[in-house]
Chains A and B, each alone.
Chain A
Amino acid sequence: MNKGFIHELMKNKVLYLMFVPIAVYFIVFNYYPMAGIVVAFKNFNYSGGMFGSPWVGLDNFEYFFSSGKAWLVTRNTFLYNIVFLAAYTFFSILVAVLIAEMAGKVFKKTAQTLLFLPYFLSWVAVAAIVYNLFNYEFGVINTLLKNMGIEPIDIYSNVSYWYFILPFFYVWKWVGFGSILYLSAIMGLDNSINEAAKIDGANIFQRIRYLTLPLLKPTTIILVLLGIGRIMRGEFDMFYQLIGNNGILMDGTDIIDTLVFRSLVLSPDFGMASAGGLYQSVLCFVIILLANGLVKKYDRDHALF
């Protein structure tokens, strides 16, 4: 067995050598930090470092869970991601189906290009756009309201607006990408059934309702389950850029990722940051295993592993 292993390495030594660079990268940047999760059980100090600081058992977790923050950010992360996933899936399929079925080649091509624009903007640029739309003094929305003689609204200090603005801009940024994804799935469907139904007299709405959508179901279920696997991984880029460190909006918009970031960088609090980070990693790991289990049950071929 052991001899076989050495023999295999020697036989394909050039090939295994070609894998070394990527292996080194992933060991250093991914596997070594995995070992570093021990820092969550330590009272971190810079001289001791990741592995030399004194152990404190579960103190950091006690602190994290008793701070009242743990439940808040877990709830926010979960709920936002559920809404994001649902809205993204719905609008992507809607656009994909319409583009697949409607006529007008030039219109469709142009529309697709335009829809894809937000995907290419950084969240920094999106934040600038959002600010220009919503700021109190001269934002587009408030300018319109003022012109109509209505009192301007202070969007940046009222969290309830953001329950809509955040999902809106999530879909805004991703629907171009998502519709291409679902459109390519529709294009891969067997067209002969559709033709047969057409000859049998089914109208286009019936064909969408009873053929395209059911045929799209496997792809949709897989993509949604994969999305559910990432449900505890927050959209840090979006939340950090659109909301930043706005204290007034904090309770309604703080997610695990922004909490961990703030605790690590802004108000050095290694206990909170490392406990929160490990809590999220474990949660993600468990959920992705569950989601993959479901995919496997549903369709073996599409399981991740």
Chain B
Amino acid sequence: MGIRSRDVTILNIIGHIIVGLFALIAVVPFFVVAINSFSTEHSIIYYGYSLIPKEFSLDAYELVFQNPQKILRSYGVTIFITVAGTIISLFVSMMAAYVMFRKDVRYRNSLAFFLFFTTLFNGGLVPFYLLIVQDLHLKNHLMVLMLCGMFSVFNILILRNFINGSIPDALIESSKIDGAGDFRIFIQIILPLSKPGLAAIGMFTALSYWNDWWTPLMFVEKENLYTLQYTLYRILSSANFSTQIVNSVPRLDMPKESLKLALTIVATGPIVLLYPFVQKYFVSGITVGAVKG
């Protein structure tokens, strides 16, 4: 069908306009921040933010990197909890998914409901807060950053569906006949064959660790345990943030506004640069999840 009919052309025009507009709206606000972080303080104060920087300057970034200990420290904390938390979360979630997948586990549906019920009812914030602070004494502890929100019931159920759809029962049966134990089957067969599912769920887990600021807001007062996003939040929301970040006597010509912008870019830049390369895992995760959790 070489020639496109008129209705298809009209839809194409409408589609390009609407989708294109939405795509622009999605990215422009971030790029306004990015562009203005390279602007001088003077031009922000006098002309306001603009789409093209009037006076180019790296002052703000220089200030950030003059004394980068705090930023680097929270980068370190965040990278650590993201990597370690994601690995532990994936391994334990996958074990649970595997147990609920095995048809010879008679109580597998009860186990699934035991997990699922927690998505229907919860004790609310106060008992959870008291548990962490009073019973587990995890306040100001690195572990709390990993333990809070470590598992998602929906992710576990998606992993189980993934195993269900990709690993035939006969494979389990034949491995058992060959003398492999249940744990060994998990390590040597289930894990390697579930890499796509693990990659997708692992990405969601990693992103929620990376972007976490709620846990330190609730449970961390020690500055050396701040996560990256929480450090950014503290700096943006405190009145004398500039002295906080650069550990120095505030100068009159301190680029306050552009410093905020530069910090936002330093804290979110890596993920913006990285996500186009990993988004396919998120897309496959959403698609698998859409087929009923």
Footprint of B on A, CB under 8 Å?
8, 12, 14-16, 18-19, 21-23, 25-26, 28-37, 39-40, 46, 49-50, 91, 94-95, 98-99, 101-104, 107-108, 110-111, 113-125, 127-133, 137-140, 142-143, 146, 172, 175-177, 180-181, 184-185, 188, 203-205, 219, 236-237, 241, 244, 257, 260-261, 264-265, 270, 273-274, 277-278, 280-281, 284-285, 288-289, 301-302, 304-305
Alpha-carbon gap, A111 to B17, bound state (A): 11
Alpha-carbon gap, A143 to B51, bound state (A): 11
Alpha-carbon gap, A12 to B102, bound state (A): 10
Alpha-carbon gap, A104 to B282, bound state (A): 23
Alpha-carbon gap, A120 to B128, bound state (A): 27
**For the complex, is B252 an interface residue (Cβ under 8 Å from A)?**
no
Q: List the A side residues contacting B16 at CB < 8 Å.
A: 102, 104, 107
Number of chain B residues whose Cβ lies closer than 8 Å to a Cβ of chain A: 101
* Distance to closest chain A CB from B165 (angstroms): 14
Q: List the B side residues contacting A257 at CB < 8 Å.
A: 125
Contact A122 B23 (CB under 8 A): no
Contact A138 B30 (CB under 8 A): no
Interface string of B27-51 (1 = CB under 8 A from A): 1011011001000000011011110
Alpha-carbon gap, A197 to B121, bound state (A): 47
A-B CB contacts (within 8 Å), total count: 289
Smallest CB-CB separation from A245: which chain B residue?
B237
Q: List the B side residues contacting A104 at CB < 8 Å.
A: 12, 16
Q: List the B side residues contacting A304 at CB < 8 Å.
A: 116
Q: A117-B30, A184-B286, A204-B11 are in contact. Are A124 and B45 (CB under 8 A)?
A: no
Q: List the B side residues contacting A16 at CB < 8 Å.
A: 99, 105
Q: Is the interface of A mostly helix, strand, loop or mixed?
A: helix
Query: Residue A34 contacts which of B122, B126, B264 (CB distance < 8 angstroms)?
Result: B122
Query: Residue A39 contacts which of B102, B118, B126 (CB distance < 8 angstroms)?
Result: B126
- Can you show 11 pairs from A to B with CB atoms below 8 A apart? A37-B127, A39-B126, A111-B19, A123-B211, A124-B229, A130-B29, A132-B29, A137-B45, A181-B290, A184-B287, A203-B5
Q: List the A side residues contacting B151 at CB < 8 Å.
A: 22, 25-26
**For the complex, is B131 an interface residue (Cβ under 8 Å from A)?**
yes
Q: A98-B14, A127-B236, A204-B7 are in contact. Are A140 and B49 (CB under 8 A)?
A: yes
